[in-house]
């Protein structure tokens, strides 16, 4: 039987992926409380069913950074796609293009930014980590710019890597033959630095700049004129600071529950962020999206669009580019139905009036 839901596809991915890969993709920090809460928090938010509204025509299109996309969801940046499928990030880029949406490519991709932009038929944004060696960071930005990316998505919530217990126990490392393509010329050594820990955690501690702060945004602005989005805002205070620094967008995110365990679910943070900065910058929600109703709730609570992370990886493991397309189509179909049943014909009709919180 063909998969019907995202959870169906995740079950297939669990069977197909080895433990090192599946645990890397699926795990969260420490006791994985926030990891679970990112999904569970949506179940505490109820929708108001509306009737006798003409919903015969519906439009799910959105605009991000002035670019029209066919659905209000983008592909989140996730690392190491080739652990999931040999075609890796290029397959995801092709699926994103067919779906009429944006792919955000990770710094830690197994495919180069040039390979991905060449394969893409839609916009590609580049997720950036800032390295202690700023020339490496400058080179990444310029290389992404030359390849034709449309925006820089700066990850700001990982000065150090959260303790992902499953990765530590597995002594996570990239499988033989896979590399971090965009960094090959800068780092000749293997990803693993400390064989007694997660190799990625060691890599981040050794190479990424934990001193990164608000003053550094001006340096990034001096390197590129591309729009700048900050990924990792998890409270209104930081969202306000981001807006004051005139970034073009913020991603309400807790890194998929992989950094600080017991921090709040992103959907619970979203309303305070939207109230603080709505209209001053674009707002995207990242974390826990598994249903079309999750997307609807996010937009109702103030997001301009959402990011889809792990489900894309499950789709890639399931059936490469076509599997990713299946994931995006499932979410598109579910969102379309949810909009109709809530009496919403386009995104402008999706307001907080359709939200009922915590019925139980």
Local structure of 100: helix, strand or coil = coil
Ordered alpha helix ranges (H), 5-108: 6-16, 19-26, 33-40, 88-99
Residue with tokens 């679910």: 265
How far apart (Å, rounded) are the C-alpha atoms in residues 123 and 121?
A: 7
The catalytic residue among 67, 85, 255, 360 is 255
Handedness of CA 7, 35, 25, 139 (dihedral sign): positive
CA atoms within 13 A on the CB side of 305: 27
Contact 37, 287 (CB under 8 A): no
Give the closest residue to 96 by CA, choosing from 347, 333, 312.
312
The tokens of 170 are what? 């597995």
Local structure of 342: helix, strand or coil = coil
85: annotated active-site residue? no
Distances (CA, A) of 333 to 39, 40, 150: 19, 21, 28
Catalytically active residues are 255
């Amino acid at each position: 039987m063909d998969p019907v839901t995202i959870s169906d596809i995740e079950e297939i991915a669990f069977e197909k992926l080895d433990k090192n890969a599946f645990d890397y993709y699926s795990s969260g920090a420490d006791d994985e409380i926030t990891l679970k809460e990112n999904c569970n928090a949506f179940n505490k938010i109820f929708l108001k069913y509306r009737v006798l509204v003409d919903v015969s025509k519906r439009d799910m299109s959105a605009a991000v950074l002035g670019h029209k996309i066919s659905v209000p969801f983008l592909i989140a940046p996730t690392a190491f796609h080739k652990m999931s499928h040999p075609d890796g990030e290029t397959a995801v880029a092709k699926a994103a293009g067919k779906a009429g949406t944006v792919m955000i490519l990770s710094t830690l991709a197994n495919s180069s930014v040039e390979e991905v932009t060449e394969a893409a038929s839609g916009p590609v944004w580049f997720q950036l980590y800032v390295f202690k060696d700023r020339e490496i960071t400058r080179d990444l930005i310029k290389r992404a710019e030359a390849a034709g990316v449309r925006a820089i998505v700066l990850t700001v919530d990982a000065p150090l890597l959260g303790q992902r217990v499953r990765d530590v126990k597995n002594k996570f490392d990239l499988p033989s033959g896979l590399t971090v393509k965009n960094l090959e010329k800068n780092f000749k050594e293997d990803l693993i630095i400390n064989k007694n820990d997660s190799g990625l955690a060691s890599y981040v501690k050794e190479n990424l700049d934990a001193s990164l702060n608000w003053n550094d945004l001006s340096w990034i602005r001096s390197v590129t004129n591309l729009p700048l989005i900050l990924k990792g805002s998890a409270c209104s205070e930081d969202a306000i600071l981001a807006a004051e620094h005139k970034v073009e967008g913020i991603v309400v995110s807790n890194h998929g529950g992989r950094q600080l365990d017991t921090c709040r679910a992103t959907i619970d943070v979203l309303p305070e962020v939207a109230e603080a900065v709505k209209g001053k910058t674009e707002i995207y929600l990242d974390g826990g999206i598994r249903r079309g109703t999750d997307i609807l709730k996010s937009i109702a609570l103030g997001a301009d669009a959402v990011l889809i992370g792990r489900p894309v990886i499950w789709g890639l493991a399931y059936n490469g580019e076509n599997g990713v397309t299946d994931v995006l189509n499932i979410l598109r179909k579910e969102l379309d139905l949810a909009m109709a049943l809530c009496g919403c014909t386009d995104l402008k009709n999706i307001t907080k009036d359709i939200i009922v919180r915590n019925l139980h």
